[in-house]
Structure 1
Amino acid sequence: MNDDFTARLKAYEGRPAAATGVGRDPVNAPMIRHWCEAMGDENPAYRGPDAVAPPTMLQVWTMAGLSGQAGRTGAYTELLGLLDDAGCTAVVATDCEQEYLRPLRPGDEVTFDAVIESVSERKRTRLGTGHFVTTRTDVRTGDGELAGTHRFRILKYAPARREPRERRPRPVINRDNAGFWEGVGRGRLLIQRCAACRTLRFPWLPGCNACGSPEWDTVEASGEGTVYSYVVMHHPPFPAFDPPYAVGLIELAEGVRMVSDVVGVPYDEVRIGMPVRLRFERCDEELVLPLFAAVEGDGG
């Protein structure tokens, strides 16, 4: 891709990415309650007559639900089409950033508009070569006051040629979690326990997030758990994995949660609340991972 093509892409910067929209619902207490329950956030600021909405809900008030929304303007569609024509036919969301300027409260009406903020030069990534496209959505109250900004970045790329299956990525082991991985190597799933307040914690941390004590010991997990939540990974493809596959947030019997693959059942039969049991799987000569298999008779 030459400089002329990059200049054509850059010409889209500053153009509207979506028509001005109005939030489908006003900021409301039921949606705040559902969000807090899902996140396990018990902050009293989000309850009662003087409640505010959690700042991280900023994008929620602009979403249109399953019915979809009119919105993307010709400029954004043209930009993606231009990248498609250049062979960048695949897309993956890479990250988002939010800036909060004022709290939103139940009853606030929300309006929003989006702009194509930036299009990167050609970048080479593990997935393939392409361009990062960043859109910025400004979220306002009904009187026009800016409440916050949401930046969303995607990579439109030409998929790299798939290489032969690779080894699974190695976990990052440091002084804070080395004991956990040593336990896994011995077939034990160890949970940290604060020596002061006895609170269990996972993942491993250098200090207690309940009382701040740096002293701790460990307890061994029974291996029993349930699927608290899960996602099915379809994209992007990585050579070491064979999508689609299910990744679960597993609630252990001891009360802590950890992320791991859900195995032993088809990905489309994984369900929230499904009982699972720990098993250790040797991926190669160096790597053993704790995975969770569906308890026989509970799949589907």
Structure 2
Amino acid sequence: MSGDPEIHEENEGFEARLKAYEGRPAAATGVGRDPVNEPMIRHWCEAMGDTNPAYTGPDAIAPPTMLQAWTMAGLSRRPERTAAYDELLTLLDASGHDAVVATDCEQEYLRPLRPGGEITFDSVIESVSERKTTKLGPGYFVTTRTDIRADGELAGTHRFRILKYTPAHRPKKPPKKPEERRPRPVVNRDNAGFWEGVARHELLIQRCTGCGTLRFPWLPGCNSCGSPDWDTVGASGEGTVYSYVVMHHPPFPAFAPPFAVGLIELAEGVRIVSDVVGVPYDEVRIGMPVRLEFRRYDDELVLPVFQGVTR
């Protein structure tokens, strides 16, 4: 603390505002997505290499360290933080303590969890420390406590502590990175002609001059008759979605998920993988008609994509 009385009084007033949040809910009361169950216990034990016989058989219990696992919401859902917890963090941010680091967690086990137990839990802001000086910088430790119940009875507690601090040495912002570009296609002697056609806004399909079989992607020889001789035909650009996937993960700066990637069956009978554009990703369907277009992504890159045709 500073020796200046006015600053000392300001700190005391600020800390009193922080202390007022103690005991207030940090997250909405939650319900476990699944009851305590043997498959999750087995997966946990296999992952941890824990062969304790207490976790198997008709009288099995869950490993105590699984306590938090029963409260996890998964990738698609997040616990709902309360307005009080958001206000507390906003107050700390506004005071310059806008950096955060998780420091530690504690668990207390009060009774064993058994398969079939229905899990509920609630979280409160248990404590906000006085201003502390750390190697990272001055700040405040905020501890939340989650009480976990099985069939309505308290089974354990989980305390999670963060430090909201003002960095002692704020790093300089790195220079702005140039905009991420899409990955470049691999061009080699077997497919160079295809990419030269794309640059001219032509989608070229190989045709074996020995048996007339069309093939895509480009190959050095015919799969049907083995002939190394070929020429090309231009695709009409008409096709349908033979199959597709919607890409959500992993995020990559050059892309904006979610988006649909289709296996497109061209009118000529061959198939090509490309983006399905022009329609919402969740409206893409197998059998949907598509039409070829060429889209420029930067000064160098042009790619064939397929515009969905809605009826």
Q: Secondary structure at the match of 2:166?
A: strand
Write out aligned runs for 1:204-283 (5 A): none
- What residue in structure 2 maps to residue 190 of structure 1? none
CA distance in 1, matches of 2:164, 2:141: 6
Q: Quote the offset at 1:124 in angstroms.
A: 0.9
Partner residue, 1:146: 154
The equivalent residue for 1:251 is none
Write the mapping of 1:106-255 to structure 2, written as runs, cut at 5 A: 106-142=115-151, 144-161=152-169
Corresponding residue for residue 194 of structure 2: none
> Which amino acid counterpart does residue 154 of structure 2 have in structure 1?
L
Deviation of the 1:160 alpha carbon: 1.4
CA shift digits 1:101-157 (9 cap, x unpaired):
111011111000011000001111111111000000000012x11000111101011
Shift of 1:19: 1.2
In 2, distance between residues paired with 1:129 and 1:68? 33
Aligned to 1:28: 37
Q: Distance in 2 between matches of 1:96 and 1:104?
A: 20
Corresponding residue number in structure 1 for 2:64: 55
Aligned to 1:91, which of 92, 100, 113?
Answer: 100
Q: Which moved more, 1:118-127 or 1:30-39?
A: 30-39
CA distance in 2 between partners of 1:4 and 1:73 (Å): 23
Aligned pair partner of 1:43 in 34, 44, 52:
52
Tell me, what secondary structure is at the counterpart of 1:21? Answer: strand
Structure 1 residue 69 displacement after superposition: 2.4
Runs of 4+ in 1 over 3 A off after TM superposition: none
- Corresponding letter in the other structure for 1:59: Q
CA positional deviation for 1:58: 0.5
Q: Which residue of 2 aligns with 1:168?
A: none
Measure the CA separation in 2 of the matches of 1:93 and 1:38: 24
How much has 1:95 moved relative to structure 2?
Answer: 0.7
Distance 2:33 2:137 in 1: 37
CA RMSD of aligned residues (A): 1.5
The question of 1:66 aligning with 2:75 is answered yes
Q: If the length of structure 1 is used for normalisation, what is the TM-score?
A: 0.53
Distance 1:69 1:161 in 2: 32
Aligned-pair CA distance for 1:74: 0.6
Partner of 2:112: 103
Give the share of equivalent positions with the same residue, in percent.
80
Cα deviation, residue 162, structure 1 = 5.4
Cα separation, 1, equivalents of 2:94 and 2:170: 21
Q: Secondary structure at the match of 1:159?
A: coil
**What amino acid maps onto 2:87 in structure 1?**
E
Cross-structure match for 1:81: 90
Deviation at 1:12, TM superposition (A): 0.3
User: How many angstroms apart in 2 are the aligned matches of 1:70 and 1:108?
Assistant: 21
Cα drift, residue 35 of structure 1: 1.1
Separation in structure 2 between the aligned mates of residue 48 and residue 67 of structure 1, nearest angstrom: 32
